[in-house]
Amino acid sequence: MKFGVVQFPGSNCDDDAYYAIGSVIGQPVEFIWHQSEQVSGFDAIILPGGFAFGDYLRTGAIARFSPVMKAVSGFARSGGLVLGVCNGFQILLEAGLLPGAMLRNQRLRFLCRQVHVRVENTDTPFTCAARPGQILKMPIAHMEGNYFCDAATLAELERNKQIVFRYVHPDGRDAGPDDFDANPNGALHAIAGLCNRERNVVGLMPHPERAVESALGSADGLVILRSMVESLSRAENRIKSAPAAERIPA
Amino acid sequence: MIDTEIKVTPQIAAEHGLSPDEYARTQKILGRDPNLTELGIFSVMWSEHCSYKSSRVHLKRLPTRGPHVVQGPGENAGVVDIGNGLVAVFKIESHNHPSFVEPFQGAATGVGGILRDIFTMGARPIAVLDSLRFGPISPGADAGNATTEEIARNRSILDGVVRGIAFYGNCFGVPTVGGEVMFEPCYSNNPLVNALALGIARKDELFFARAHGAGNPVIYVGAKTGRDGIHGASLLASAEFSEESQQKRPNVQVGDPFMEKLLLEACLEAMRTGAIVAIQDMGAAGLTSTSSEMASRGGAGIEIDLARVPQRETGMTPYEMMLSESQERMLLVAERGREREVFDVFHKWGLDAVEIGRVTEDGKLRVLNHGRVAAEIPAHALAEEGPRYERPIAAPKAAAAPGAPLIEFARERADLTENFRRLLASPAIASKYWVTEQYDSMVRTNTRVGPGQGDAAVVRLKESKRALALSTDGNGRWGFLSPRLGAMHAVAEAARNVACTGARPIAATNCLNFGNPEKPEVMWQFTEAIDGIAEACRALETPITGGNVSFYNETLGKPIYPTPVLGVLGLMEDADCALGSGFRNEGDLILLLDGANPESFRSADLQVGMFSSSEYAKAIHGIVAGTPPAIDLTAEKRLIDCLVKLAAERAILSAHDVSDGGLAVTLAESCFDSDGLSAEIDLGSHDEPAESALFGERGARAVVSVAAALLARATAIAAQYDIKVQQVGSVTRGEFRIQYKGTPVIRGTTDSFRQTWSESLGKAIEAAS
């Protein structure tokens, strides 16, 4: 099992993702330079947060043209796990790997704070180790996290159960309209993260890689990384036709 | 465009800010008249901002040596040893004038500049703190005579500065972990934007700005040179403001944090090749200062040809190129024969890297343009033999606040809850969350104690068990009332804040913000402050490793309060011992630690004088008078040592020093930064007015909380350091209540107090927008 962390020139959460995977959950991990034209040998790819190309035009608008994104698209089409965090989520939207777009935060300010999201769907390789409805505390840090899509797309997302994380109050209550305490950027239907129809590509605005040690505020992001490890080892074991996979100890 | 062929006259020299003596000095150094390009070069290098000509003779009095110091003042940043083969590289710098003229870009490029100072030494930046001061942003007793227009403009300056800092730091990928936001009427037309950056490097992999090895190539890397920022250092930073200052906007540089991020990664990677001999960032005075300073420090000369410099605009003259302050550029010297390795790294990151010249043996800065000599000046004389002034010094004849009435204490048994609420709502005391949540404070996943969570910021080191703590502090009002005491308190408070997190203060950096040094009263304030800093830094064992002086902070002839801002760095052996300021558990006991003898502050006259200088006097009564509290540096040192020991022994659960707003505010803040906890307090009975007991400010005090089972342990440790312990109450889940002389003097629900405290700043700023 090998994780890859893509490095765009302006990625700045790449080291954090690398540390969370390599040092905290102890899985093999390597960086992938944005000019790489292939991503073979990796089992999961993370598009980390940051400002890939400065994001002066629109977040992720230039990054989607990087050679690596062609390879990542192919990787995703063949069923590989792709996790986009913050800027990585924005890039997945721009690249068309996930539907919808990001607007600027409703109050037009950058926001860095701990938020709470509810796991809306455990039927993905990124949430399979979570309890349905589990509340995760993770930080956000972005200017453009106000998710938007048209009504038809939203209906489809709901129908296919593609909404994976929703901003909620700490006790799990839904965010109301203009409820910036719970839904700080004003995202449509409080959507914090979603997956593609095939469920192997997930993007989310909160940073799981910043929530892997309780000493730094929260370790709730671990469940996302552990879900990935669990589903990958299950897949590996299937290939080896071995008995049912052991759960990765929490 | 400036015609460089014109002949330089004394009048042109004067227009460049050079005095007749300084002009004569340029003629003597050259043995002839300078041409216009050379005049421009001299004028920026000898500007107050670059040459420290008014301050240098006084800065020598600061202590700069200590067991941890690897590099003191004189390099791009200070360096201290933090063990495990690692060093901390840190420095604070001002960007006041640009931030007034163009708040967003001024603040952004201030952050960019200080970050380059750090990574040019081979260190990766791991934290930024911003110490900010503005004029009043809401009407009230503490707004002085500020007009509605001034208040509106102050809000917009604050908004622009905060957005600028966020824009730069967030994109660059360095956490902004702390700092200050203060308000005084004197900063209305002269905000202070002081940015501190901290980086980490391996001790044996530090880089310095010392060019050597004749024939070695001089390589320009980073952004292209344009016409922005010309004369930023000499005209913006080294002169007072008038009504026309907004016209200086073209002198402000424009920042590109993405370019800076590329430059950071490329520089650190290029350094690892081993092919780099020397490197320096182009900050103030751009190509001029980097080339002449690198040559001077290395005892060498440098020859460059401007035709080879990457340019953003066409038709730039040598004068413009040498004076441009375009951002995100570096100059480096590589080993001859290994240029290719350096070029390859920069090209990988998509950056320009061009050989523009070479190191020479003749000690001269020689500037060619298409092979023709445009300027030729002895580098050492230019960089190190500029003017030095012993400016006239005169203590003011009258007291700083002449005729100001001193405070009258409220009657006994007065209910002070309403005043307490007003104090919590005052911008100086209110939560700064509205500001700090716009900064990414968590990137790099090292932030153990972030903004608002403790008295200092704490970042852990992934390379070891250790952590570093940093705090910036300064009290302009106290500096105004007594420059020396104000400066001493700035050192003591920053060190105390660091100690409250459990870290031992080991070094300091300072940013000295003052008025026009040509005024003898301003120079007096400056020298007093220097002596105060020197005495306090000696006593607290925090040598000064670098910093910056910002003079000419005046608008329309009115100087700011003398405002030395101190950044103190602390080292913690075990990051897991880091303490926040918030209470932790219901039932814990609350102790007031006091390094001084409380009785020595209880004389009635002393109380009135001291209390008139407090935040409360200003916020509630609009009084700025009296003298700051006397300071006892040995008491401060004992308290610091005690706090470090208490944290290391895990004897206490939180620590928060008593400062702005006094004991009542300290206690409230420890509740606000907890999980819904409150406090029940009894301050006993003393011969001291209730207002003074609740809101009085003096040094060497901290509020700590302790589990009941560890009370004896904590008390025993305090006794070892001769620290007085008063058990003042306990952590509860009920009402917030303070009792004094048997009567409740402050009471209310913690939630209501918290709401007042947490919402008022955002409301004030967004009121008009």
pLDDT above 90 (res B415): no
Of A112, A213, A216, the CB nearest to B439: A112
User: What are the pLDDT digits (tens) for B333-358?
Assistant: 999 999 999 999 999 999 999 999 99
In this prediction the ipTM stands at 0.95
The two beta strands, B217-222 and B329-334, are: antiparallel
How confident is the model at residue B235, as a pLDDT?
A: 58
* A207 carries an active-site annotation: yes
CB contact under 8 A, A112 and B441: yes
Cβ contacts (< 8 Å) between B575 and chain A: which residues? Answer: 215
Mean pLDDT, rounded, of chain B:
94
pLDDT above 70 (res A243): no
> Which pLDDT band, with edges at 50, 70 and 90, does B242 fall under?
low
CB contact under 8 A, A139 and B258: no
Q: Which of B262, B442, B463, B501 should we substitute to test contact with A (largest number of A Cβ atoms within 10 Å)?
A: B442
> Which pLDDT band, with edges at 50, 70 and 90, does B687 fall under?
confident
User: What are the pLDDT digits (tens) for A77-122?
Assistant: 999 999 999 999 999 999 999 999 999 999 999 999 999 999 999 9
Of B265, B437, B445, the CB nearest to A112: B437
Residue A249 belongs to a domain:
no
Residue A195 belongs to a domain:
yes
Which chain B residue is nearest to residue A16, measuring alpha carbons?
B444
pLDDT above 60 (res A169): yes
CB contact under 8 A, B258 and A216: no
The answer to whether A188 and A181 are in contact (CB under 8 A) is no
User: What are the pLDDT digits (tens) for B189-204?
Assistant: 899 999 999 999 999 9
Judge whether A53 is closer than 8 Å to chain B, CB to CB.
Answer: yes
CB contact under 8 A, B258 and A209: no
pLDDT above 70 (res B2): no
Q: Rounded distance, CA B308 to CA B304, Å?
A: 8
Residue A250 belongs to a domain:
no
Residue A84 belongs to a domain:
yes
Residue A245 belongs to a domain:
no
> Which pLDDT band, with edges at 50, 70 and 90, does A247 fall under?
very low
User: What are the pLDDT digits (tens) for B353-396?
Assistant: 999 999 999 999 999 999 999 999 999 999 999 999 999 999 99
Cβ contacts (< 8 Å) between A109 and chain B: which residues? Answer: 163, 438
How confident is the model at residue B557, as a pLDDT?
A: 86
- CB-count exposure of residue B234 (10 Å: 0-12, 13-18, 19+): buried
Domain range enclosing A43? 3-239
Of B166, B265, B445, the CB nearest to A210: B445
How confident is the model at residue B244, as a pLDDT?
A: 59
pLDDT above 70 (res B245): no
Residue A248 belongs to a domain:
no
A residues 170..209 contacting B (CB < 8 A): 207, 209
Q: Which of A19, A106, A112 should we substitute to test contact with B (largest number of B Cβ atoms within 10 Å)?
A: A112
> Distance from B160 to chain A by nearest Cα, in Å?
12
- Percent of chain B exceeding pLDDT 90 equals 87
> Distance from A58 to chain B by nearest Cα, in Å?
14
> Distance from A241 to chain B by nearest Cα, in Å?
39
- CB-count exposure of residue A171 (10 Å: 0-12, 13-18, 19+): exposed
How confident is the model at residue A246, as a pLDDT?
A: 47
How confident is the model at residue B141, as a pLDDT?
A: 80
User: What are the pLDDT digits (tens) for B268-310?
Assistant: 999 999 999 999 999 888 999 999 999 999 999 999 999 999 9
Q: Rounded distance, CA A238 to CA A226, Å?
A: 18
pLDDT above 80 (res B671): yes
Cβ contacts (< 8 Å) between B349 and chain A: which residues? Answer: 9
Residue A54 belongs to a domain:
yes
User: What are the pLDDT digits (tens) for B64-90?
Assistant: 999 999 999 988 999 999 999 999 999
> Distance from B115 to chain A by nearest Cα, in Å?
15
pLDDT above 80 (res B247): no
How confident is the model at residue B241, as a pLDDT?
A: 62
| Collapsed DSSP state (helix, strand, coil) of residue B113 | helix
> Which pLDDT band, with edges at 50, 70 and 90, does B246 fall under?
low
The answer to whether B637 and B539 are in contact (CB under 8 A) is yes
E strand intervals along B474-594: 504-513, 544-550, 554-555, 558-559, 563-572, 589-594
> Which pLDDT band, with edges at 50, 70 and 90, does B617 fall under?
very high
pLDDT above 80 (res B399): no
Amino acid identity for residue B694 in this structure? L
Cα dihedral across residues B348, B351, B356, B362: positive or negative: negative
CB contact under 8 A, A110 and B172: no
pLDDT above 50 (res B58): yes
pLDDT above 90 (res B6): no
CB contact under 8 A, A9 and B265: yes
Domain count, chain A: 1
Give strand pairing partners of A3. Answer: A29, A44
pLDDT above 50 (res B150): yes
CATH number at residue A82: 3.40.50.880
User: What are the pLDDT digits (tens) for B625-658?
Assistant: 999 999 999 999 999 999 999 999 999 999 999 9
Residue A102 belongs to a domain:
yes
Which residue shows structure tokens 């026309």?
Answer: B244
How confident is the model at residue B768, as a pLDDT?
A: 58
How confident is the model at residue B232, as a pLDDT?
A: 65
How confident is the model at residue B140, as a pLDDT?
A: 83
Q: Rounded distance, CA B191 to CA B188, Å?
A: 6
pLDDT above 60 (res B769): no
Q: Which active-site residues of B does the annotation give?
A: 49, 95
User: What are the pLDDT digits (tens) for B752-762?
Assistant: 999 999 999 99
Which chain A residue is nearest to residue B255, measuring alpha carbons?
A54
The answer to whether B439 and B639 are in contact (CB under 8 A) is no
Longest dimension (CA), chain B: 86
**A86, A94, A120, A230: the active-site residue:** A86
pLDDT above 50 (res B733): yes
Interface of B with A (CB under 8 A): 163, 166, 170-173, 256-259, 261-262, 265, 349-350, 436-448, 460, 462, 575-576
Angle (nearest 5°) at CA B159 between A10 and B434: 85
How confident is the model at residue B239, as a pLDDT?
A: 66
Cβ contacts (< 8 Å) between A141 and chain B: which residues? Answer: 170, 440, 442-443
Cβ contacts (< 8 Å) between B576 and chain A: which residues? Answer: 215
pLDDT above 70 (res B249): no
How confident is the model at residue B624, as a pLDDT?
A: 94
Structure tokens at A17: 């993702």
> Which pLDDT band, with edges at 50, 70 and 90, does A236 fall under?
confident
Judge whether A215 is closer than 8 Å to chain B, CB to CB.
Answer: yes
> Distance from A25 to chain B by nearest Cα, in Å?
15
pLDDT above 60 (res A56): yes
A residues 95..154 contacting B (CB < 8 A): 109-113, 139, 141, 143
